[in-house]
Amino acid sequence: MIPDRLELLLRDGTPVVAKPLTPADRSYVAEGYRMLSPDARYQRFWVRDGEIIGDAMLDRLLTGDLPNHAIWTVFDPTREGFPGLGAASFWRSKTDPTDAEISATVLDRDQGRGVGTLLLSILWLVAYRCGIETFTGYTMPENRGALRWMRETGAQGEWDGYNAIFRWKLGDLDAIPATPAGADLAGRLADLSPLIL
């Protein structure tokens, strides 16, 4: 059984909690979106302003549907105010059940702390347990930070004329490179495998 709460540490030793998001977290997700900078909104949702996280999107996003959809968050329970650091989700492809699209958002103030890699590792193992073999991620070509992170965690990229498309083969751990982000991912996968698989 996949756990509903994981108590973990970030690279800097900060204690955090990872858990699936549920419909009870609507206001939490909406507030997290509001806290993103215009650049972060643009790079993740392709809009700079506006309330694109409406009721229909929240309903779709927060309705758990394993093995086809999962969404997890990482938060710092000791942080005053909004405790969230980031969230990530996957959606199984309707045309190829061995593939799922993954997306992740980390708040501006928490980027570079390993939150995205932690979320990737959790979803990697949850998806693998559900029979998914490949993660596909999309990003804008100007989002250099995301492009670098995807490469450094072992994703293979291509360009379709509009998006940068990256794919991780979830069963091929040898493809994870010996970069700092790759080592972080490999270590997380090793530590979390007994808990999730």
Q: What CA–CA distance (Å, rounded) separates 115 from 73?
A: 10
Residue 27: predicted pLDDT: 87
Residue 72's CB is within 10 A of a number of other CB atoms, namely 20
Q: Minimum mean pLDDT among 16-20, 35-39, 153-157, 170-174: which range?
A: 35-39
Confidence class for position 52, pLDDT limits 50, 70, 90? low
Domains of the chain with CATH codes: 6-196 (3.40.630.30)
Residue 115: predicted pLDDT: 97
Residue 35: predicted pLDDT: 84
Average pLDDT over residues 143-169: 91
Map residue 32 onto helix, strand or coil.
Answer: helix
Mean pLDDT of the chain: 90
HEC profile of 62-126: HCCECCCEEEEEEECCCCCCCCEEEEEEEEECCCCCCEEEEEEEECHHHCCCCHHHHHHHHHHHH
Residue 28: predicted pLDDT: 87
Is 108 buried (19+), middle (13-18) or exposed (0-12) by CB count in 10 A?
Answer: exposed
Q: What CA–CA distance (Å, rounded) separates 187 from 8?
A: 13
Token pair 């073999």 in the structure block, residue = 133
Q: Minimum mean pLDDT among 108-122, 159-173, 181-195: which range?
A: 159-173
Q: What CA–CA distance (Å, rounded) separates 66 from 71?
A: 10
Confidence class for position 129, pLDDT limits 50, 70, 90? very high
Residue 148: predicted pLDDT: 93
Contact 25, 73 (CB under 8 A): yes
Residue 1: predicted pLDDT: 84
Has residue 45 got a pLDDT over 90? no
Residue 5 CA neighbour count, 13 Å, CB half:
6
Residue 25's CB is within 10 A of a number of other CB atoms, namely 20
What's CA 153's distance to the chain center, in Å?
A: 13
Convert the pLDDT of each residue in 77-103 to its tens digit: 999 989 999 999 999 999 999 999 999
Q: What CA–CA distance (Å, rounded) separates 169 from 135?
A: 7
Has residue 37 got a pLDDT over 70? yes
Residue type at 109 in one-letter notation:
R
Confidence class for position 58, pLDDT limits 50, 70, 90? confident
